[in-house]
Amino acid sequence: MFWGITLCCYAQEDEMNRLLEEMSQEPTSYTFATFKSTRVINGHSIETLRPRHLDFRISHRFGRLNQGLYDIFGLDNAVIRLGVDFCPVEGLLVGIGRNTIEKTYDGFIKYKLLRQAKGQKNIPITLAILGTMSYNTLKYSQEDPKSWLSSRITYTLQSLIARKFNEWFSLQLSPTYIHRNLVLRKKDANGIWALGIGGRIKITKRIAFNAEYFLLAPWQEIDAPDFDGNSRKKHNSLSLGFDIETGGHVFQLHFTNSRAMIEKAFIAETTESWGQGAIHFGFNISRVFSFDKSFNKDQIKDKSSGENKW
C-alpha cells in the first residue's frame, strides 16, 4: 500500500511538472514582412498575400540611362508588364501577366511550405516553391505549324529560401532552373541553372533598401537574344532599389541592367552590364484589394493560424 501511494505521488508530480513546463514555454511566434512585397525587385520573394486578397501590379522599365538627354536618359523607351496575383488560400499565390517584350504572357504558382517561427515551434527559415510558364506571341516570319506552340514556351522552377534575421535585415537564396524549349544555337543549353541572392535592409518604418543578384552557373556558355533578335553575351542580373509603402500601395523604385520582368528573360536573357553603363531605371507599383469581409488590417494576430507573429 505504501508503494502504491508513493508511485501515485510520483505520477502526479510528473504530470504537474509536465503541465508547468508546457505553461512556461513561449508561444509560437511567426515572422511577417520578411520582404514588404511579393517581389524582391525582379524576382519573387517568399511572401504571398493574405487569403482572398488580390494584388494588381504595374511594372515599368525604361531605356538605358547612358542614352543621354536626347532620350531623356531612357524615359522615351519604356517596356511594361501588367499583372494580377491572387491568394485563394493561406500560403498559395497564383498570378498571370502580360509583357511588352516579345508580347509574352506568363503565369505562376507559388506555395509556402515552411514559415519561420520561434517559441514552441522553432523554424529557422521560410521556404516557398515557385513554378512559372511564359509564352511568346510574336508573329513568325516563317511559321512552322509543328513547333509553333511548344517552341515558344519556357518554364521556370525555383526554391525560395529566406530568413529574417531581425527587424531590419532579411536575406533570401533562390536556386533556379529554367527550361527553354527553343534556343538560338545548337550548342546553347535548353536548361539553365542559376542562383539568386536577394536582401532587404529596413531604413525607416515605411522605406527599405533592396538588392538582388542572379548568378548564372559558371559551367554554362549561353548566348541570349537582344531586342533586335541578335545573339549577344549573357550578363548576370543585378538590381538595386527602394521599397516605399504608402497605405495600400507599395512603390518599388530601382536601377537594374535587366529590362525584362519575368524569370526566363531577366535571368537567362540579360545582355547589358553595369560596367558598360547599361543601367535602366524602373518601378513596380502594387495595389492590394481585399475580398475578405472579416479581415481587419489593424489586427496583430494571424486569423489563419490563431498564433502570434513577429
The mean-pLDDT minimum among 94-98, 108-112, 228-232 falls in 228-232
- Which of 81-90, 184-193, 299-308 shows the highest mean pLDDT? 81-90
Q: Are 240 and 252 in contact (CB under 8 A)?
A: no
Check pLDDT > 80 for residue 223.
Answer: no
pLDDT > 90? residue 8:
no
pLDDT exceeds cutoff 70 at 13: no
Whether 299 is covered by a domain: the verdict is: no
> If you average pLDDT over residues 33-53, what whole number do you get?
95
The predicted-structure confidence for 106-134, as pLDDT tens digits, reads as follows 999 999 999 999 888 899 999 999 999 99
pTM: 0.83
pLDDT tens-digit readout, 158-178: 999 999 999 999 999 999 999
Per mean pLDDT, which range of 130-134, 149-153, 207-211 is the poorest?
Answer: 149-153
Is 27 among the domain residues? no
Residue 145 has which C-alpha cell?
Answer: 505549324
Q: Is residue 303 situated within a structural domain?
A: no
Give the strand pairing for 249-256 and 223-225: unpaired
More confident: 144 or 288: 288
260 is written with which cell numbers? 525584362
Q: What per-residue confidence (pLDDT) applies to 303?
A: 38
Asked if residue 300 belongs to a domain, the reply is no
Confidence of residue 295 (pLDDT cuts 50, 70, 90): low
Note whether residue 17 is domain-resident: no
Buried b (16+ CB within 10 A) or exposed e, 247-280: eeebbbebebbbbbbbbbbbbbbbbbeeeeebbb
Q: What is the CATH number of the domain that holds 84?
A: 2.40.160.40
Does the structure show a pLDDT above 60 at 196?
A: yes
Q: How far apart are alpha carbons 212 and 226 in whole angstroms?
A: 22
Residue 285 lies in a domain: yes
* Residue 196 covered by a domain: yes
Q: Note down the domain range covering 130.
A: 32-290
The pLDDT score that the predictor gives to residue 219 is 78
How far apart, in whole angstroms, are the C-alpha atoms of residue 174 and residue 188?
A: 23
The pLDDT assigned to 104 comes to: 95
pLDDT at residue 308, rounded to an integer: 43
Whether 194 shows a pLDDT value over 50: the answer reads yes
Domain assignment present for residue 237? The answer is yes
Higher-scoring residue by pLDDT: 199, 63 = 199
Provide the number of structural domains found in the chain: 1
**Least confident window among 56-60, 172-176, 251-255, 304-308:** 304-308
